[in-house]
Amino acid sequence: MHPLDLYDQWRRRVLRWLPIRQAFDRTPDDVAPHGSEDWLLEPIDVDEACRLFPHLEKDRAVLQYQRLRLQIREQDGRGF
């Protein structure tokens, strides 16, 4: 076992009795922004997609941009 893993286990055991919540122990729901502030819920901007993927055609750039947004949502645990 890696020394940092051992330290992490020790730290979690020792600090478990404290009434504080650590920032790194939060769930994705705790971290996710409110729906009105979530840029991933906004409609796709075709111009932005074309600027992000200038090497692709307009339609393919929009598809790639949508894939990127869905991948970010999945990684953050926000669902689809």
What pLDDT, on a 0 to 100 scale, did the predictor assign at position 11? Answer: 84
**Rounded to 5, what percent of the chain is helix, strand, coil?**
65, 0, 35
Q: Quick: pLDDT tens for 26-80.
A: 676 777 777 777 777 778 889 999 999 999 999 999 999 989 988 887 887 765 5
- Cβ atoms of 61 and 50 within 8 Å: the answer is yes
Judge whether 38 and 77 are in contact, CB under 8 Å.
Answer: no
Instruction: Give tens-digit pLDDT for 19-28.
Output: 766 666 667 6
Average pLDDT over residues 10-27: 73
